[in-house]
Amino acid sequence: MKKALFFVLVFIWIDKIIAQIIRLDSSELPIVIIDTRGKTIANDPKIEAHMKIIFNVQGKKNYSSSKTAHYNNFIGIEIRGNSSQSYPQKQFAIELRDSVSKSDIDFPLLDLPEEEDWVLYAPYNDISLMRNVLTYHLWNQMGHWGPRTKFCEVILNGEYQGIYILTESIKRNAERIDIAKLNPEDTTGLEITGGYIMKIDKKNNPADKSFISAVKSTNNQNITWLYHYPESDDINVKQQDYIKKFIDSFELALSGARFMDPNLGFRKYISTESFIDYLLISEFTRNVDAYKASSFLQGEIG
C-alpha cells in the first residue's frame, strides 16, 4: 500500500513539473488562453478572468502569440466536478461575459451553437482522451441530444494545462435540451408538469436544493436528486413538491411487486425507449457513474 501511494504521489508531482515546462507555441487544435489576473479559481463562486481563443480555419495551425482571436473577452470561471476536483488537471465551468457591461453574452465558441455557459472538461483519467466525446456522439446517433464537443489545448496563467474538451453544458434551450420553459407562476394544472431537468449526483454545494430518493440503491446507499432546471434559486416549493412526488411514484412503481403492470407499473412514468438506450450505452461504455452520479433526466410538459 505504501509503494502504491508513493507511486501516485510521484506521478502527480512529475505531471505538474511536465505541465510547467511545456511551452505551447502552436497547435493543430484551438488554443484557449485564460488569465485570472492573480486570482485563484475556486469551486464556487465563479471568479472573473480573461479568455482568449486562437482558432483558425481547419487545416491551419493555431499560434499562441497570434494577435487575432476567435474569442477575446471576459469570463466567469469555477472548478467543477466532485471526485475530479482532486485531479491535478482541473475541469472548469465557464460563463462568457462582456468586458464593458459585465453581463453574460452568448457566443458560438469553436463554431458550436452560441451560448453563454460552457464546460472545459479535463480527460485526466482517460488515456484515450475521447471516451466522453465518443459516448456523446453515439448518444446523438441513437436519436437523442448529447453535448457537442471540440478538442482544444489550454494555457492557464502562462502554464500549459494539457488537452481539454470544450463541451456544451446541460441547459434548457432550443439548441440543447429543448423542453418547455417553467415559469415561477406555473404552479397548477398542465403548466406545473414541465419542463424539468433533474440530476442524480452527490450534493457538492450545500445551497443546492435536493431530496433523497424514496428507495435505496442496490448496495443500500442513498440516492440524491438535485434540481438542475429550474435552478435552486428559481424553482418554487410547489414545483419542487410536484417533481419529487412524480419521481417517488416512478421509483416505488419500479421497485414494487407490480412493476410490470401496464397501468400500475413504471412504464407510465418514462419514455421506455430512451431508458433502454441509456442502459445500453451505460453498459457498453462501462460508465462507472451510471445510475448513481452525473446522470441527468428530463421531464417534458404533460
Reported as a single tens digit per residue, the pLDDT across 5-53 is: 444 444 444 444 455 578 899 999 999 999 999 999 998 899 999 999 9
Average pLDDT over residues 181-188: 98
Segment 59-106, tens digit of pLDDT: 789 999 999 999 999 999 999 988 888 889 999 999 999 999 989 999
pLDDT in tens, 126-179: 999 999 999 999 999 999 999 999 999 999 999 999 999 999 999 999 999 999
Q: Amino acid letter at 168?
A: E
Q: Which residues of 179-211 are buried (b: 16+ CB within 10 A; e: fewer)?
A: bbebeeebeeeeebbbbbbbbbbeeeeeebbbb
Q: Please choose, from the candidates 134, 14, 9, 34, the residue with its C-alpha nearest in 3D space to the C-alpha of residue 91.
A: 34
pLDDT tens, residue by residue, 198-238: 999 999 888 899 999 999 988 899 999 999 999 999 999 99
What pLDDT sits at residue 14?
44
How far is residue 301's CA from residue 137's CA, in Å, rounded to a whole number?
A: 27
> In terms of Cα–Cα distance, which of 283, 260, 284 is closest to 272?
260
Question: What does pLDDT average to over the chain?
Answer: 92
The CA-atom distances, in angstroms, between 137 and each of 123, 140, 144 are: 16, 5, 10
Q: Is 260 left (phi over 0), alpha (psi -120 to 50) or beta?
A: alpha
Torsion of Cα atoms, 181 then 184 then 187 then 189, to 10°: -30
**For the whole prediction, is pTM greater than 0.85?**
yes
Cell 453581463 identifies what position?
103
Please indicate whether residue 4 or residue 34 has the higher confidence score (pLDDT): 34
Residue 11 has a pLDDT of: 42
Residues 6+ apart with CB under 8 A from 156: 34, 36
Distance CA 31, CA 45 (A): 25
Alpha carbon 124 to chain centroid, angstroms = 15
Nearest to 155 by CA among 64, 72, 79, 69: 64
